[in-house]
């Protein structure tokens, strides 16, 4: 699939700005690796364990958070200096065929291979969206050396894959709607980001993309049932129904240790109910932003920026490794031609790119410096501001991508 290129960028922003940014990125990159030093690749261990259980057909252990975590620790002892807390399998069964591919290999092999391969895929998508030259090189540096990238590598997460799906799907949306919908359907593997895809496609009025997305999601569902039967789905539905104690425990822990809106509110001392309301407002705001932008904006660059920022703002659960999305959105702004971006959105883009340095909020609170927790809590409003500024950007922006006029 060919991803149409974005136009070149005149890099008028001084290296006095970019060099400190990249230094801060290296700092954040290192902090992410340090954070996971006692359990490198712990999130990938979840996929590795789930894949092996699916291969054996042991769905009872897969759906039992405590037994699953015990097995994870037992089978990955060589990699764990400190056993992780509760790590249940919470992904939908559509993810199990992917997990089975990971589980087919030794963890020490698949961990670096999966991270390297997913990063190469992301960089390949970026190379097709930016022309050769300084703009592409800067964009790659801004993403590879972003603070969230170290967290993604340390955790062994799939954020590079999610970013690749969004970038490739939205890049071909205007010219190849059906193909774009099929690509974006892969985002259902990370459902907290896929929630905004139907909003974007419906509000954008792209029927072929809606058909492609529906067919792709249905194909993934059919594949999981054909390979594994209905048992994983029945177990998963019971697990997430709210009656499972392990899911409730993970949900509470995940809310506090993430960096979604409710995580920020919980760390600041608000009640769980208020935090839940805050998260609902953030999710509705994200959906509204995406709907507004896809209904009114024609150029692909701004649609990409708004979608990635809104996905980060509205997701019920995200962590610092998902900051790869906001770093990519910031790179789209910072490598835009000077005439289509003003100093205001440039500054906000830099702040969004840097926000992973003061996240996740529970870590900032643990450091005992109240100012850091307050700075961390500014992240959701900053993301909202970034999306709004992108939508109401100068009228010249639609001309930044030539094929959008077709």
- The pLDDT value recorded for residue 290 is 95
Reduced to 3 states (helix: H, G, I; strand: E, B; else coil), residue 254 is helix
- The pLDDT value recorded for residue 143 is 92
Spell out the residues 6+ positions from residue 172 whose beta carbon is closer than 8 angstroms to its own: 1, 2, 3, 4, 179, 180, 183
pLDDT in tens, 1-29: 444 444 444 444 455 667 777 787 888 88
Write the DSSP assignment of 339-386 as a string of letters: GG--HHHHHHHHHHHHGGGG-SHHHHHHTT-HHHHHHHHTHHHHHHHH
Question: Whole-angstrom Cα distance, residue 54 to residue 236?
Answer: 13
Spell out the residues 6+ positions from residue 21 whose beta carbon is closer than 8 angstroms to its own: 142, 350, 353, 354
Confidence of residue 131 (pLDDT cuts 50, 70, 90): low
For the chain, the straight-line distance linking the first and the last C-alpha, in angstroms and rounded, comes to 19
Question: Whole-angstrom Cα distance, residue 399 to residue 26?
Answer: 34
pLDDT of 302 > 70? The answer is yes
Query: Whole-number mean pLDDT of the chain?
Result: 85
pLDDT of 396 > 60? The answer is no
pLDDT in tens, 237-256: 877 776 667 666 766 676 67
- Torsional sign, CA 72, 78, 79, 84: positive
Confidence of residue 48 (pLDDT cuts 50, 70, 90): very high
Question: Phi and psi (nearest 5°) for 330?
Answer: -65, -40
pLDDT in tens, 56-115: 989 888 888 889 999 999 999 999 988 887 888 888 899 999 999 999 999 999 999 999
Q: Are 180 and 169 in contact (CB under 8 A)?
A: yes
- The pLDDT value recorded for residue 10 is 45
Question: Whole-angstrom Cα distance, residue 358 to residue 5?
Answer: 33
**pTM as predicted:** 0.89
CA 70 to chain centre: 27
pLDDT in tens, 335-357: 876 655 677 888 899 999 988 88
pLDDT of 406 > 70? The answer is no
> For residue 154, what are the CA distances in angstroms to 16, 38, 72?
29, 10, 17
Per-residue exposure over 230-256, b if at least 16 CB sit within 10 Å of its own CB, e if not: eebbebbeebeeeebebbeebbeebbb
Q: Are 331 and 168 in contact (CB under 8 A)?
A: no
To 5 degrees, how large is the angle CA 280–CA 196–CA 404?
140
In the chain, % of residues over pLDDT 90? 46
- The pLDDT value recorded for residue 5 is 44
Residue among 348, 352, 359, 310 nearest 151 (CA): 359
Per-residue exposure over 62-75, b if at least 16 CB sit within 10 Å of its own CB, e if not: bbbbebbbebbbee
pLDDT of 369 > 80? The answer is no
> For residue 360, what are the CA distances in angstroms to 75, 101, 123, 183, 326?
28, 30, 25, 30, 14
Question: Whole-angstrom Cα distance, residue 396 to residue 340?
Answer: 6
Q: Which of 24-28, 35-39, 297-301, 367-371 has the lowest mean pLDDT?
A: 367-371
- The pLDDT value recorded for residue 341 is 65
> For residue 256, what are the CA distances in angstroms to 265, 268, 276, 356?
9, 10, 12, 16
Question: Whole-angstrom Cα distance, residue 124 to residue 337?
Answer: 22
């Amino acid at each position: 699939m060919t991803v149409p290129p974005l136009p070149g960028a005149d890099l008028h922003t001084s290296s006095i700005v970019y060099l400190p940014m990249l230094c801060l990125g290296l700092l954040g990159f290192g902090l992410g690796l340090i954070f996971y030093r006692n359990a490198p690749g712990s999130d990938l261990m979840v996929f590795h364990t789930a894949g092996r259980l699916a291969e054996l057909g042991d769905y009872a252990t897969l759906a039992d958070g405590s037994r699953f975590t015990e097995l994870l620790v037992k089978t990955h002892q060589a990699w764990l200096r400190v056993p992780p807390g509760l790590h249940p399998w919470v992904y939908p069964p559509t993810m199990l065929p992917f997990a089975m591919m990971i589980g087919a290999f030794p963890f020490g092999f698949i961990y670096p291979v999966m991270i390297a391969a997913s990063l190469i895929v992301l960089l390949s998508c970026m190379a097709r969206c930016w022309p050769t030259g300084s703009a592409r090189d800067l964009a790659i540096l801004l993403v590879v050396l972003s603070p969230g990238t170290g967290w993604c590598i340390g955790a062994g997460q799939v954020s590079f894959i999610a970013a690749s799906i969004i970038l490739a799907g939205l890049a071909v949306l205007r010219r190849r709607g059906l193909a774009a919908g099929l690509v974006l359907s892969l985002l259902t593997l990370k459902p907290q980001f896929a929630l905004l895809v139907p909003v974007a496609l419906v509000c954008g009025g792209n029927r072929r993309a809606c058909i492609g997305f529906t067919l792709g999601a249905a194909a993934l569902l059919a594949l999981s049932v054909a390979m594994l039967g209905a048992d994983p789905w029945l177990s998963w539905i019971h697990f997430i129904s709210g009656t499972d104690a392990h899911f409730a425990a993970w949900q509470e822990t995940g809310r506090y240790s993430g960096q979604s809106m409710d995580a920020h509110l919980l760390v600041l001392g608000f009640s769980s109910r208020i935090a839940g309301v805050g998260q609902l407002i953030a999710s509705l705001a994200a959906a509204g932003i995406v709907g507004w932008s896809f209904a009114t904006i024609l150029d692909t660059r701004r649609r990409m920026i708004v979608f990635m920022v809104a996905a980060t703002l509205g997701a019920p659960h995200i962590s610092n490794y998902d900051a790869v999305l906001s770093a990519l959105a910031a790179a789209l702004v910072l490598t835009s031609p000077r005439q289509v971006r003003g100093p205001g959105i440039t500054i906000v883009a830099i702040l969004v790119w840097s926000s992973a340095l003061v996240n996740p909020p529970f870590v900032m609170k643990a450091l005992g410096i109240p100012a850091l927790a307050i700075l961390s809590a500014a992240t959701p409003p900053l993301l909202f501001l970034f999306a709004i500024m992108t939508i109401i950007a100068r009228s010249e922006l639609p001309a930044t991508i030539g094929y959008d006029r077709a």
